[in-house]
Every structure is written in C-alpha cells, then in structure tokens.
Amino acid sequence: MQRPINEEIASRRTFAIISHPDAGKTTMTEKLLYFGGAIRDAGTVKGKKTGKYATSDWMEIEKQRGISVTSSVLQFDYDGKRVNILDTPGHEDFSEDTYRTLMAVDAAVMMVDSAKGIEPQTIKLFKVCRMRGIPIFTFMNKMDRQGKEPLELMEELEEVLEIQSYAMNYPIGMGKEFIGVYDRFNNRIEQARVEGDSHFLPLNDEGELAVEHPMTETSYYKQALEDVMLLNEAGNEFDVERVAKGELTPVFFGSALTNFGVQTFLETFLQFAPPPQPRQTKDEQQIDPQSSEFSGFIFKIQANMNPAHRDRIAFVRIVSGAFERGMSVTVPRISKSFKLSQTTQFLADDRETVNEAVAGDIIGLYDTGNYQIGDTVVGGKFNFQFEALPQFTPELFVRVTAKNVMKSKHFHKGILQLVQEGAIQYYKTLHTEEVILGAVGQLQFEVFEHRMKNEYNVEVIMEHIGSKVARWIENESDVKESMTGQRSMLVKDRYDNLVFLFENEFALRWFGDKYPDIKLYNLL
Ligand code: G4P
C-alpha cells in the first residue's frame, strides 16, 4: 500500500446503489466505473438485462458463475479515494441478498426513474437503509425524457419516504428540451449536450447567469430560476450532519444514459459520503475502523465457479484494521482459526488475488463449508461477535423432500449449505421434522431446486404450502401446541426458535384475540 494504513482506511468509500428495476442502476454503475477508469467503455460491465432476468436467464448466469461473482463488488480510485460499489441483485425475489448487502455499506445511492417516481422496490430498500441510519444520496434519473415535474418528484420523495431533501441541482427543461441543470451547490449552470469548458456557466451573486446566453430567454430557464428561488426560501437547508445521519437526502437531477450530471454527482457524493464507520458487537462495544486489529463480518456467501467442487466465496466486509494475505483469523462462532491464503478482490472485469486490504474494503475468502452468513472474523487478540445480521420474514413456504429417499444424506447436506449461504430459509415441523423452506420471492425456490439437482445431485419434491404470515414468539414457554388449528401451524426455525405460520392476516388477528398473552413479533 502506498499510504500509511490510517490514511488508506480514511480514503475508503463503500456504498450500494438501490433502485426499482429499470431505474438505471446498471447504467449508472457503468458510468461511475468509466469515470473511475476501471473500464474503458461504459457498457462492458455486464449483460444489459441482468437486472431483469427470467428464471431461465438466471440459470444461464449461474452456469457462467464468473459474471455474478466478479460483478458483486466493483472497485476504483477517484480523487485520492478508493471507491467500493457493492452490487445488488436487481430482481426483487433476491431482495434478501440485497438487504444483507446493505448491512455492509456506509452509504447508499438511490436511483429514481423521474417518469415513474418512487416505486415499491425503492421503498423497501430505502427502509433498510433508513433502519441503519446511513446517508442516502438521490439521483433523479432519465431527465432526457419527459418525466414528472421536479418539484412534484421532490414532494413525492419526502412524502412517500418520509425523508427531507435538498436539491443540489435543479433541471432546466426536460426531455427534448433538457438544457441542463442549475447547480445550486457549485453555483453554476451545467449545460447538457455541450462538450468542453463551456459546459459550465457561472452564476452571479443574485443566482442568475453571469454571462450572456440565449438560454436566459427560454421559459425553461425562467421556470427553473423561479423554482430554485422557491426552494431557497421555503425548502430545507443543506446540512452536512443531517446528511450523515440519513435525515436529509441530497438530490441530483441528471441522466445516466446520456452521461449528464454523473461526474458532478460522483465528485459531490465522494465529498460527503462517509469513510468506514464503526460497527457494534453483540455486547455493545463499538469497533473503530482505525483499530490496529483486523475484524470483519460475512454478509454474503456465493457458490463458486466450479459446482463440482462446491467451493464457495464468503464476502467479508472489513470493519477494522488491515488484512494481509496469509494472516490467521478466528471465527468466534465456531472457535476455529484459519490461515487466509486464498483470498480474492473484485474488479470490474477480473478477479485478482488480494494481498492487502483495509477497513471499508470487501474481500472474498475461499470457503469449503466453514463459514455462514453473519459470521464474524477476527484477527490478533480480538474476540467478539458483531451484532447479528437481520433476518427477514419470508412470505412463501414449501414443504420439501428428496425424490429418492436413498439420497437423504446429500439432500440434508445440500439444504444445510444453501441455508448457510442465505439462499433460502430453513424451518422444520415439530415432531416429524419435515423440512419447510421459506423465501421472500418465488425465484428463490426455483434456484434452490436447480442447484440441489446440479450441485448436490438430488431431485427434490416441493409441495407448495402457499404464502403464510410468519410470527416469532417472545414468550415461547407459554405456547402450547393446542393453540394451532386449521389456519395456523407451529414450526421451528434453524435456530430452534418457535414460529407460527398463519394462513393470512385474518388468522393472525383471530389468534391475537383468542390468545392475547402470547406476544408475537415479525422480523424485518
Ligand atoms: P436497472 O439496472 O436499474 O434495472 O436499469 P438499467 O440501467 O438496466 O436501465 C434500464 C433502462 O433504462 C435501459 O433501457 C437503460 O438504457 C435506460 N436508461 C438508464 N438511464 C437512462 C437515462 O438517463 N435516460 C434514458 N432515456 N434511459 C435510461 P432498456 O430499454 O432496458 O435497454 P436499452 O435497450 O435501451 O439499452
């Protein structure tokens, strides 16, 4: 490393882009990598429609695992900062994976399609970021198309997501008449479709164009000035501390596809996005990123390129200190130590062996089945576990068995590993110990079935028991099996906690009325 470790750590900016499918996350990622010099041409990161695959496409992607693995973490340097972008699956059926990835970032960029406004998947992902109190930067995309009025978009953002906003810039015109943006933050106008130095025009003390320009005659310019004045008087103030707490989102208008406003966005984002943040342990100790000891946690496990070997890559977010290849670490959950000699780092189009990495970075550890999602990894004298990653309440359930009973050993091994990866959730019935799987999205089951067949050579029978309302129990000892009936069943989760699966909300309410002393709760 070229700089002292504390400077290296302070230079890290680790974030994810969240959006509803089609809002422009892939396009934005490509443009950012392009500015970061990580790729030569925007458009080479991955197949265009990875965010929108049908099951069959997913299988295809799975066959060429390389794609999904290498694009999981993208890294580049810009302006003395080392930027780590954590990629998240576009399909909502894999949202559990996305939620966990959001546990490993220090900031989020929210892409909004300005014609569509705030969409359902954006709301869900936003809530996860909100829960963590991380800063959220908003990019109102596709200004080159006719969309909703900018003020209307900001209002929608504030009302639907209950977050305050500050427009860093403001569009002048839209669609075919998109002239550029009024950059409130840098006091200039950034022109669309103009290359070179004249791209930026200065503003005077009154906040109007300081140079003569035909644009001043247009109604779009006048409208933008009027709206900006309104925001100056009645809008929120820019407040760095509130941005850092995730209470105020800076809003940028632009167009990822035509590459308008992306560079200004990147530069401003890097100025305000936080360096690696401390994390809390189970016993409420704060672990400082600048600590001299190494620590991290596993937020994602991905089956590796070669299904025949069933090796996997565990993604570690480094929380503190520095990693060096060959160092020994301990996983406190199993009190086992490992020498980390096979590790990998992720670049846009290649994987390379990583020798050194610091807090804020993501490294991939080769795993032969030792790690599981949420594991803490520590070096030196450290001995603690980070707070558990949140578990998510699944809504869909299947009862699953092996087609061929002779394969039962492989069946259980496959399930165990896929559950450890976080690909699917595991439950079992109380006495018969039948396996029930829970998922957030239907595709998770299909991928499960496919992988069981391809990687563990087991064909499974899945009996859909439909969507259920799952509830955990605070006072388990008060629960009796006789409380279940036609519209509810009692199962155990993978940690042996009792869980009620209700047929629907109605059954849940009926239960609540009948057994008011049983305290139920749901996970995220
Ligand atoms: P996602 O990862 O969030 O799912 O979105 P992605 O970047 O794949 O973009 C979804 C579609 O929106 C793509 O079009 C993309 O070209 C388009 N798009 C992204 N940013 C902008 C923008 O600033 N302006 C306009 N007009 N379009 C934008 P597509 O029709 O799915 O693919 P293509 O055939 O047009 O490439």
CATH number of domain containing 305? 3.40.50.300
- Residue 28 Cα to ligand 1 midpoint, Å, equals 9
13: nearest Cα among 149, 142, 105, 121: 105
CATH number of domain containing 407? 3.30.70.3280
Report CA-CA distances (Å) from 271 to 78, 88, 163, 361. Answer: 11, 23, 21, 18
88's enclosing H/E stretch is none
Select from 18, 22, 259 the residue to mutate for testing ligand 1; criterion: most ligand atoms less than 8 Å from CB: 22
- Assess whether 461 and 484 both reside in one domain: yes
- Assess whether 261 and 285 both reside in one domain: no
At 342, is the pLDDT very low, low, confident or very high (cuts 50, 70, 90)? low
- Assess whether 335 and 429 both reside in one domain: no
**Does residue 483 form part of some domain?**
yes
149: nearest Cα among 170, 122, 163: 170
Q: Which atom of ligand 1 is nearest to the CA of 256?
A: 23
Whole-number Å distance between alpha carbons of 416 and 428: 13
- Residue 115 Cα to ligand 1 midpoint, Å, equals 12
What pLDDT does 58 receive?
42
Least confident piece of the model among 52-56, 144-148, 394-398: 52-56
What pLDDT does 91 receive?
67
Instruction: Specify whether the backbone of 76 is left (phi greater than 0), alpha (psi in -120 to 50) or beta.
Output: beta
- Residue 388 Cα to ligand 1 midpoint, Å, equals 36
Number of domains in the chain: 3
- Among 272, 289, 320, the domain boundary falls at 272
At 59, is the pLDDT very low, low, confident or very high (cuts 50, 70, 90)? very low
- Going by alpha carbons, the residue nearest to atom 29 of ligand 1 is 22
- Among 272, 293, 308, the domain boundary falls at 272
Select from 57, 98, 122, 257 the residue to mutate for testing ligand 1; criterion: most ligand atoms less than 8 Å from CB: 257
**Does residue 84 form part of some domain?**
no
Q: Is 142 annotated as a binding residue?
A: yes
- Going by alpha carbons, the residue nearest to atom 22 of ligand 1 is 142
**Does residue 249 form part of some domain?**
yes
At 277, is the pLDDT very low, low, confident or very high (cuts 50, 70, 90)? very high
**Does residue 7 form part of some domain?**
no
How high is the mean pLDDT of the chain? 87
- Assess whether 23 and 103 both reside in one domain: yes
How confident is the model over 60-85, as a mean pLDDT? 66
Select from 18, 26, 27 the residue to mutate for testing ligand 1; criterion: most ligand atoms less than 8 Å from CB: 27
- Assess whether 231 and 341 both reside in one domain: no
More confident: 180 or 94 = 180
What pLDDT does 65 receive?
37
User: Can you give the three-state secondary structure of 164-194, one letter per residue?
Assistant: EEEECEEEECCHHHCCEEEECCCCEEEECCC
What pLDDT does 190 receive?
93
Q: Report yes or no: 175 and 192 within 8 Å, Cβ to Cβ.
A: no
- Residue 43 Cα to ligand 1 midpoint, Å, equals 11
**Does residue 78 form part of some domain?**
no
Q: Is 493 annotated as a binding residue?
A: no
Q: Residue 200: is its pLDDT beyond 80?
A: yes
Q: Is 438 annotated as a binding residue?
A: no
- Assess whether 177 and 240 both reside in one domain: yes
What pLDDT does 1 receive?
66
How would you classify the pairing of strands 322-324 and 312-320? unpaired
- Residue 242 Cα to ligand 1 midpoint, Å, equals 31
Q: Is 23 annotated as a binding residue?
A: yes
What pLDDT does 310 receive?
63
Q: Report yes or no: 129 and 160 within 8 Å, Cβ to Cβ.
A: no
Q: Which atom of ligand 1 is nearest to the CA of 49?
A: 8
- Assess whether 255 and 293 both reside in one domain: no
Q: Residue 52: is its pLDDT beyond 80?
A: no
Give the whole-number percent of the chain exceeding pLDDT 90. 67
Q: Is 89 annotated as a binding residue?
A: yes
- Going by alpha carbons, the residue nearest to atom 11 of ligand 1 is 22
What are the backbone angles phi and psi of residue 201, rounded to the nearest 5°?
-120, 135
What are the tens digits of pLDDT across the range 409-465? 999 999 998 998 888 999 999 989 899 999 988 888 988 998 899 888 999 999 999
> Could you tell me the two tokens for 38?
């990580």
- Assess whether 54 and 152 both reside in one domain: yes
How confident is the model over 185-212, as a mean pLDDT? 89
What pLDDT does 185 receive?
93
**Does residue 313 form part of some domain?**
yes
Q: Is 101 annotated as a binding residue?
A: no
> Could you tell me the two tokens for 458?
């087991």
- Residue 22 Cα to ligand 1 midpoint, Å, equals 6
What pLDDT does 111 receive?
96
Print the domain residue range for 406: 396-521
Q: Residue 145: is its pLDDT beyond 70?
A: yes
Total residues found in the chain within this entry:
524
Angle between helices 442-456 and 55-63 in degrees, nearest 10: 40
What are the tens digits of pLDDT across the range 469-506? 999 999 999 999 999 988 999 999 998 999 999 999 99
Give the distance from CA 259 to its chain's centroid: 23
- Residue 48 Cα to ligand 1 midpoint, Å, equals 9
**Does residue 9 form part of some domain?**
no
- Residue 335 Cα to ligand 1 midpoint, Å, equals 47
447: nearest Cα among 302, 298, 299, 300: 302
What pLDDT does 196 receive?
72
- Going by alpha carbons, the residue nearest to atom 32 of ligand 1 is 48
> Helices (DSSP H) in 196-319: which residue ranges?
219-234, 240-244, 262-272
Q: Is 93 annotated as a binding residue?
A: no
Q: Identify the DSSP state of 277.
A: P
**Does residue 391 form part of some domain?**
no
- Residue 257 Cα to ligand 1 midpoint, Å, equals 7
Least confident piece of the model among 218-222, 308-312, 476-480: 308-312
Q: Residue 61: is its pLDDT beyond 50?
A: no
What pLDDT does 158 receive?
97
- Assess whether 100 and 143 both reside in one domain: yes
Q: Residue 352: is its pLDDT beyond 80?
A: no
Q: Is 485 annotated as a binding residue?
A: no
Pocket of ligand 1 (CB under 6 A): 19, 21-27, 48, 51, 90, 141-142, 144-145, 255-258
Report CA-CA distances (Å) from 94 to 304, 422, 443, 493. Answer: 18, 10, 8, 20
- Among 241, 272, 303, the domain boundary falls at 272
Q: Residue 71: is its pLDDT beyond 70?
A: no
Q: Which atom of ligand 1 is nearest to the CA of 19?
A: 3
What pLDDT does 345 receive?
55
At 114, is the pLDDT very low, low, confident or very high (cuts 50, 70, 90)? very high
- Assess whether 291 and 248 both reside in one domain: no
What pLDDT does 454 receive?
85
> CB neighbours of 352 closer than 8 A, spacing ≥ 6?
344, 345
Give the whole-number percent of the chain exceeding pLDDT 70. 88
- Assess whether 23 and 172 both reside in one domain: yes
241: nearest Cα among 299, 164, 177, 295: 164
Q: Which atom of ligand 1 is nearest to the CA of 52?
A: 4
Q: Residue 171: is its pLDDT beyond 90?
A: yes
Q: Residue 116: is its pLDDT beyond 80?
A: yes
- Assess whether 110 and 127 both reside in one domain: yes
More confident: 48 or 293 = 293
Residue position matching structure tokens 């309302």: 469
Whole-number Å distance between alpha carbons of 194 and 178: 12
> CB neighbours of 2 closer than 8 A, spacing ≥ 6?
none
> Could you tell me the two tokens for 490?
């009692």
